[in-house]
Structure 1
């Protein structure tokens, strides 16, 4: 189901059970349109994600780890002033809409207590997050400033009065009930029931309306079916559905749904984590890495074009001896050439006196044309060593940027900044002189094998280098896919079990360019045998004496072994 008004009702029900009465201890803004409030209640920390993302807007308690930017955005600094240390008094849904108010009591500059609310509107591309002073509905700050020329219905700027979005004028099923619904839709064709539900009641997405229609259509008391269905939004059984084509959908409880598999979760937050971990993480990476992708593509294009030119030069160099022959013939028979001639045929004494047609520069005489051919010959012969050197460097650059592409494909948001730092240090991106803080390299992803052995996976070159060459014990086992860009994997054990070795190899295969392949070769050996050539790129190592395993990447195994923070 999409996140409609009914699912919002279920979320608010869960929030009231878990975090109302708790204290907001921390406020973070890890991503441009998303805030995380850490609410401590009953000695438990609950990270509350409030997202105004245009595609993935939602509210949930999340356990997905996140990395905060080194410099806090202005919006989160404003929120910290009002929210940190404040008690979460109540959480209220507006009617049955996708709007949630989070109320706290905060102190103003004079020390007086004032009621503040954080209002989250989950409205697709119009989603927004507001900090509002309750007494006069004044917007203190909001995560997206919207100029008046982009929204003529209401003002979405600091200092304006907060006004609700235009009302739909539909009935709230939780306050007005479903009594009129069953007799109303029973008089219409079943195919129209979902539309009738949506046009009568507020907060019904298409999936919810179809589910209710199917429920009412069951044998028995239709109205009782409808009321029982609606009551389930206060008696939750979070369910993730998987279709026979692999498509995911979710619901607040296990309702009538076309699916091949239903997975149940303890909380809505856990279920949403499972649903969004791939989608939202990929979108965040795409947002953060947009400029990096352009840089990498430009570098690949530039080096690919350079390689073609170098190959053309090498092809010409292979024919350099032909230029020398032409020069020798012209210098032997200069009298056969007169200015103005564009070509001449001369008996080639190097080839049984066969006639050889030699192109000429009409502005030059025979000796000058001969000198011109000798000059070209010498340049090409001299260029061969230089071109071969440049070819090796160009091939290394192409391999390097193909490796960066593979890393961006499997990167999480925290990895993107490491890749940005690496490209900046390499001179491919201009450094931000305003940011004087020393960048920190994020930690590798942490996994635990089935038998409890600790495994780490580097997701970018900086992580790989630090993990393999500085942090790993010489006796730890290092793994990497064979001759394919991918992550460095370290098993923190000198003698891992066969099961752990295979699991680590599957991790190495999954976090590589071969993640969609089968029977992937993975090399492994003790980390102490790794060597880094002088002047080589970050993360580049050489080795010998490796052994090889053949494995198939397994996404479910990755999720199963990953250590949850």
Structure 2
């Protein structure tokens, strides 16, 4: 089901059970449209994600790892001022809409207690997150400032009065209890029931309305069926459905969705983590890495064009001797050339006196045309060494940027900043600010093999270099896909079991450009045999004496082995 009013009701029910009365100990903003409140309650920390993402807006307890930016955004600094150390007094849904209010008691500058409200509106591209002073409904700050010309219905900027989005004027099913619904729709054809439900009651998506229609249509008292179905949103059994074509959907309980297998979870948070772990992470990476992708594609395009020109120059150089022959003939028979001629035919004494047609510059005489051919000949001959050197450098650049593209394809949000730092350090991204502080590199992804051996996977060049050349013991086993861009993988064991070695090889294959291939060659050897050439780019190593395994990437294994933070 989409995140509609009914599912929002279920979210609020779960959050009230888990975190109401808990104290907000930390406030983070790992992504531009999302914050995380760490709530301490009953001796346990609950990371509460409040997302105003245009596609994935939601509220949930999440345990998906996130990396905070080095510099805290202004919005999170504002939230920390008001929220850190406060207790969540209550959590409420506005009617049956996709709006949740979190109430805390905070102290103002004079030390007086004031009620503060965090309001999350989950409404697609209009989603937003507000910090509101309750007694006068004044917006203190919000995560998305919206200019007046983009929203004429209400003011969305600090200092404005908070106004609810326009009401739908529909019945709240949790207040009306669906009374009269069964008799209202029973006279209608079944195909019209869902539409009738949506036009009468607030908070029903198409999927929810269809599910309620199916429940009413079962044997027994139709109104009792409807009430029992609605009560399930307070008696949660979070369920993730997988359709025959591999698509995912979810619901607050198992409502017997057609043509789908169902997996139950203990909490809505766990279920949403399972649903969003791929989708939301990929979207976050795409948002953060958009400018990087443009830089890398431009550099690739520039170097591919340069390579073509260099190859053309080499091709011309291979024909440089023809230029010398033409120059020799012209200097031998200059009298055959007069100004104004565009070509001349001369017996070629290098080729059995066969006639050779020579193109001329009409503004020059025979000797000057000969000199022009000799000059071009000398340039091409002396250019060969330089062009070969430039061709090697250009090929290295193309390989480097192909590697960066492969890393962006498998990156998580925390990896993107490392790649940005690398491209800035290497001079591909210009910045006016020059920080004297050494950039902080994120940690590699950590996995545990089936026999308990620790495995680290670098997801970008900075991680790879630190992991392989600085952190790994020289006896640890290093793995990398053969001749394909990919991650450095370290098994923290000098003599890993065969099962661990195969699992690590599958990780190396999965986090590479060969992720969708089968029978991928993966090289491995002790990390102590790695060498980095002088002047090489980050993450580049050379080695010899490796052995090779052939494996097929396995996404399920990756998820199974990954250590949850």
TM beyond 0.5: yes
CA offsets per residue over residues 362-393 of structure 1, 9 Å max, x none?
Answer: 11111111111111111111111110000000
Tell me if 1:73 matches 2:73: yes
State the 1:432 CA deviation.
4.4
CA offsets per residue over residues 195-217 of structure 1, 9 Å max, x none?
Answer: 11111110001111111111112
CA contact (8 A) 1:214 1:256 kept: no
Equivalent pairs counted in the alignment come to 565
CA distance in 2, matches of 1:478, 1:330: 64
Structure 2 unmatched ranges of 5 or more: none
Q: Secondary structure at the match of 1:309?
A: helix
> What is aligned with 1:109?
109
CA distance in 2, matches of 1:552, 1:223: 54
Q: Secondary structure at the match of 1:115?
A: strand
Q: Secondary structure at the match of 1:387?
A: helix
Alignment of 1:544-563 (within 5 A): 544-563=544-563
> What is aligned with 1:91?
91
> What is aligned with 2:413?
413
CA contact (8 A) 1:38 1:48 kept: yes
> What is aligned with 1:9?
9
Q: Once structures 1 and 2 are overlaid, which stretch shifts more, 436-445 or 169-178?
A: 436-445
CA offsets per residue over residues 44-92 of structure 1, 9 Å max, x none?
Answer: 0000000111111100000011111111111111111110000111000
> What is aligned with 2:198?
198
Alignment of 1:205-284 (within 5 A): 205-284=205-284
> What is aligned with 1:476?
476
> What is aligned with 2:326?
326
CA distance in 1, matches of 2:278, 2:379: 55
CA offsets per residue over residues 442-490 of structure 1, 9 Å max, x none?
Answer: 0000000111100000000000000000000111110001110000000
Distance 1:183 1:237, change over 3 A: same
Q: Secondary structure at the match of 1:371?
A: helix
> What is aligned with 2:543?
543
CA contact (8 A) 1:215 1:256 kept: no
> What is aligned with 2:40?
40
CA distance in 1, matches of 2:105, 2:116: 6
State the 1:297 CA deviation.
0.7
CA distance in 1, matches of 2:364, 2:138: 85
Distance 1:161 1:436, change over 3 A: farther
Q: Secondary structure at the match of 2:115?
A: strand
Q: Once structures 1 and 2 are overlaid, which stretch shifts more, 457-466 or 362-371?
A: 362-371
CA distance in 1, matches of 2:2, 2:285: 23
Q: Secondary structure at the match of 2:543?
A: coil
> What is aligned with 1:493?
493
> What is aligned with 1:168?
168
CA contact (8 A) 1:115 1:134 kept: yes
CA contact (8 A) 1:10 1:234 kept: yes
CA distance in 2, matches of 1:86, 1:536: 51
Structure 1 unmatched ranges of 5 or more: none
State the 1:157 CA deviation.
1.2
CA contact (8 A) 1:194 1:209 kept: yes
Q: Secondary structure at the match of 1:37?
A: strand
CA contact (8 A) 1:406 1:486 kept: yes
- TM-score by length of structure 2 reads 0.99
Alignment of 1:423-442 (within 5 A): 423-433=423-433, 437-442=437-442
CA distance in 1, matches of 2:336, 2:102: 97
State the 1:150 CA deviation.
1.2
